[in-house]
Amino acid sequence: KAGVTQTPRYLIKTRGQQVTLSCSPISGHRSVSWYQQTPGQGLQFLFEYFSETQRNKGNFPGRFSGRQFSNSRSEMNVSTLELGDSALYLCASSLGSLATYNEQFFGPGTRLTVL
Amino acid sequence: DQQVKQNSPSLSVQEGRISILNCDYTNSMFDYFLWYKKYPAEGPTFLISISSIKDKNEDGRFTVFLNKSAKHLSLHIVPSQPGDSAVYFCAAYSGGGADGLTFGKGTHLIIQP
């Protein structure tokens, strides 16, 4: 079974631009969560999508948004990029929603650099 | 305010010996805990978990202990192998997963030959 895939793996943008990251979950998984990893803050929860609906959201500004498609694939969008948005963005999928404490399977991440 | 703390950024252990990684938490609402392992350029990989109704869970060379009164958990790896060299993250769920997984900042385990 193929694992979680994320595209692109690396991305360089400039301040003020917007970016869209993509995540394909493991086949059959219906929940997709996004995390931001930075050296200072570690891994922080962004949001979870389950059955095309945002279920939960972490403490991030509205510039961070996402969506999930009917095939469970998910995209994350960051608008008006700031230097502090430079990070590794990880996507994780699970069979059920986080409400049932499912084990999450992580993708390799997208490394975003904002100049 | 960090709710999950891994106070040792790195740990060096000799091959064949026991590795003990520690994790403390402050949020008493956490009721499910997990350990993840991460190699460079890869996403975290699930290792082992424990529910707050238990105090120990074992899976092969990996054992997780939970001390709820002390808000402390530990991961024991016996015996340690070179392939265990990686960053280990402690993570916790609370409130039916509404906050996602809350992670510690990780401990870099180095297994020396």
Q: What is the pLDDT of residues A20-47, one digit of tens each?
A: 999 999 999 999 999 999 988 889 999 9
CB < 8 Å to B100, chain A:
33, 35, 45-48, 56, 58, 98
Reading the block at residue A102, the tokens are 């499912």
Instruction: Label the pairing between strands B102-103 and B30-38.
Output: unpaired
Q: What is the pLDDT of residues B20-49, one digit of tens each?
A: 999 999 999 999 999 999 998 889 999 999
Instruction: Label the pairing between strands B19-25 and B4-5.
Output: antiparallel
Confidence of residue A100 (pLDDT cuts 50, 70, 90): confident
Task: Count the Cβ atoms, other than its own, within 10 Å of residue A93.
Answer: 26
| Identity of the amino acid at B11 | L
Q: What is the pLDDT of residues A68-84, one digit of tens each?
A: 999 999 999 999 999 99
* Residue recorded with tokens 């962004």: A46
Secondary structure class of B95 (helix, strand, coil): helix
What's the CA gap between B79 and B111, in Å, rounded?
Answer: 11
Percent of chain B past pLDDT 70, that is, above it, reads 100
Cβ atoms of A105 and A92 closer than 8 Å:
yes
Mean confidence (pLDDT) of chain A: 94
Q: What is the distance, to the nearest Å, from the Cα of residue B62 to the centroid of all Cα atoms in its chain?
A: 10
Confidence of residue A1 (pLDDT cuts 50, 70, 90): low
8 Å CB contact of A56 and B97 = yes
CB < 8 Å to A42, chain B:
103-106
Position A66 scores a pLDDT of 96
Percent of chain A past pLDDT 70, that is, above it, reads 99
What's the CA gap between A38 and A54, in Å, rounded?
Answer: 23
What's the CA gap between A56 and A36, in Å, rounded?
Answer: 15
Residue of chain B nearest A92, judged by CA positions: B43
Residue B75 has pLDDT above 70, yes or no: yes
Position A52 scores a pLDDT of 94
8 Å CB contact of A43 and B99 = no
CB < 8 Å to B89, chain A:
43
Q: What is the pLDDT of residues B53-62, one digit of tens each?
A: 999 999 999 9
